[in-house]
Amino acid sequence: MDNIAFGLIVAITLGSALMVVISQQLLYSAIALLFTLFGVAGLYIFMWADFMAGVQIVIYIGGILVLLIFGIMLTNKISSVNISHTSLQRRVGAVITLGVLGFLIPMITKTSWLQISSEEPAQTADSIGRLLMMEYLLPFEVASLLLLGALIGAAMLSRNTN
């Protein structure tokens, strides 16, 4: 099942990622991002990381993308449909991109990638939970403290001052 499904998911991911960059309308980019993020969730499943795929959908699609679209819609007038973003400085951009590509290609070819086992692991979320709650409890709590701080900050900012 792997090759065709994998090819399909990669095609969706890359194709929509290209759309995100090329599209002239900001909202179209956001919608293309929906498919990219979904494709990435599919890629997680190929690494037997089904829990990560679920988290990807909940956080990136259900949370971040919705906020992104909200932001686009709220910062623009309702009546103006045309929200466009054009690309500037194409030549400089091309040079920088090619430079990054020059770094990336040797990295991709020289890294000794981990082989994914073909056996389906019995439990995936289980071991993540154990690691988070036992071995990495402190970083986990620090991260949640950071999020709590951000939440309180956002509530403070949006509060009606009078």
Which residues are at the interface with other proteins (CB under 8 A)?
Answer: 1-5, 27-28, 31, 34, 50-51, 54-55, 57-58, 61-63, 65-66, 69-70, 73, 78-79, 81, 123-125
Nearer to other proteins, 71 or 102 (CB): 71
Closest approach of other proteins to the CB of residue 54, in Å:
5
CA within 13 Å, CB half, 113: 7
Nearer to other proteins, 24 or 97 (CB): 24
Nearer to other proteins, 75 or 111 (CB): 75
Termini Cα distance of the chain: 61
Nearer to other proteins, 85 or 99 (CB): 85
Closest approach of other proteins to the CB of residue 98, in Å:
32
Inter-residue contact 28 to 16 (CB < 8 Å): no
Closest approach of other proteins to the CB of residue 17, in Å:
17
Q: Mention every residue, 6+ apart, whose C-beta is less than 8 A from residue 10.
A: 39, 43
Nearer to other proteins, 17 or 61 (CB): 61
Which structure tokens are listed for 25? Answer: 């309308």
Closest approach of other proteins to the CB of residue 79, in Å:
8
**CA gap 79, 86 in Å, rounded:** 21
Closest approach of other proteins to the CB of residue 58, in Å:
5
Distances in Å between the alpha carbon of 116 and those of 42, 72, 111?
15, 39, 15
Indicate the burial class of 151 (C-beta count within 10 angstroms; 0-12, 13-18, 19 or more). exposed
